[in-house]
Homo-oligomer: A and B are copies of this chain.
Amino acid sequence: MKTNLFFKKKNYIHLYDILKVIGLKPSQKNEKINDLRDLISAKKNDISFINNMKYLEQLKHSKAKYIITNKKFLNNLKNFNNLIPVDNVLKSVSDITNLFYPDSLDDAVDFNVKPPIIKKYPKIKFGKNVLIGKDVKIGKQSIIGHNTIIESNVIIGSNCIIGNNVLIKNSIIGKNVRILDGSVIGKKGFGFFPNYLSNNRYPHIGIVMIDDNVEIGCNNTIDRGSISNTEIGKNTYLDNQIHVAHNVKIGKNCIITGQVGFAGSSTIGNGVQIGGQAGISGHLKIGNNVKIGGGSGVVKNLPDNSKVMGYPAKDIRKFLKENK
């Protein structure tokens, strides 16, 4: 799935210009680079990056031609000969993203939205005061609630119910999905480089992908990805007031109860159940069929079928024994 269809992309950038923008001395070689992508989705003429040794396995299988990495990781990466070492990977990736996607820092209000033209959407039921952007696609039998805003280019499948006061941008939504009242889907994530006078925002060219039969409750916030996507798998249900940060990938058939929070870039398996108010730290891998008790704070990877509770989360039998 293309992650970048919502942002205008340059066909290619010369390696010369990439090296220059990140403060390196460019060679004369005028090679063309096609895109900036994450390790998994990068193709052979793309550039990618690694900023955390957790992703070493992905690096081994990446097809990317060049890899931005931190100078301090070089010792761990002696077998790789396509590395471009820098001081601050995220800053360099951000600068390169802006070369490929010059408009990607812009997360402003969509002024192309208008009341829906019924002729264009003959099988859709629209509430009052709905606003629809340019080139929005909505499948038949779907319902869009009152005061809801669907920004330009969003795709919504058939038989969906979108509630009232919902905002959807930069998202692709499957069939038979419900997104309930007050939720905000697809705004840019909370990513920036701290800067004393005025922080520099990180570009977010990823989108939110919500698969078939998903339910998203009320007043949720699901941010879109930075380079990769934020994803919610088939038949996963989210309760109210849940926060899903950028790049999080939640599997199929999960049950996420009220006020749970996911920090950025974690991957959640299939069939995972998470109790109310639990928090999942960033860059974690939670296996399939994991059960996480309410209020838990998960700070490390969890293998398949784990049952955990506590802050920090530990085996639930251990937690209950220590706390009886």
User: Which residues on A are within 8 Å of B, measured CB to CB?
Assistant: 108-109, 111, 113-114, 125, 127-129, 131, 143-147, 149, 161, 163-165, 167, 176, 180-182, 184, 187, 190, 192, 194-199, 212-213, 215, 217-219, 221, 223, 234-235, 237, 239-241, 243, 245, 253, 255, 257-259, 261, 263, 275-277, 279, 281, 294-295, 297, 299, 310-312, 323
Closest to A109 in B: B145
Q: Which of A161, A192, A217 has the most CB of B within 10 A?
A: A217
Q: Assuming the A-B contacts A261-B258, A297-B294, are A176 and B190 also in contact, with contact meaning beta carbons closer than 8 angstroms in the complex?
A: no
Q: Verify B196–A253 contact, CB threshold 8 A.
A: yes
Q: Verify A218–B187 contact, CB threshold 8 A.
A: yes
- What are 19 A-B contacts with C-beta separation under 8 Å? A109-B125, A111-B127, A114-B128, A128-B131, A129-B147, A163-B187, A181-B184, A194-B255, A197-B234, A197-B235, A198-B212, A199-B237, A218-B221, A219-B241, A221-B240, A241-B243, A263-B276, A279-B294, A294-B297
Interchain CA distance A180-B297 in the complex, whole Å = 27
Q: Assuming the A-B contacts A109-B127, A221-B219, A297-B295, are A241 and B241 also in contact, with contact meaning beta carbons closer than 8 angstroms in the complex?
A: yes
Closest-CB distance, A293 to chain B (whole angstroms): 9
* Number of chain copies forming the complex: 3
Q: Verify B235–A221 contact, CB threshold 8 A.
A: no
Q: Verify B198–A258 contact, CB threshold 8 A.
A: no
A237: which B residues are within 8 A, CB to CB?
A: 190, 192, 199
> When the two chains form the complex, which single residue of B109, B128, B180, B277 contacts A187, counting CB atoms closer than 8 Å?
B180
> When the two chains form the complex, which single residue of B163, B277, B294 contacts A109, counting CB atoms closer than 8 Å?
B163
Closest-CB distance, A157 to chain B (whole angstroms): 13
Q: Verify A253–B323 contact, CB threshold 8 A.
A: no
A181: which B residues are within 8 A, CB to CB?
A: 167, 184, 187
Closest-CB distance, A136 to chain B (whole angstroms): 15
Interchain CA distance A144-B182 in the complex, whole Å = 18
Q: Verify B147–A147 contact, CB threshold 8 A.
A: yes
> When the two chains form the complex, which single residue of B161, B190, B234, B297 contacts A258, counting CB atoms closer than 8 Å?
B190
Closest to A239 in B: B190
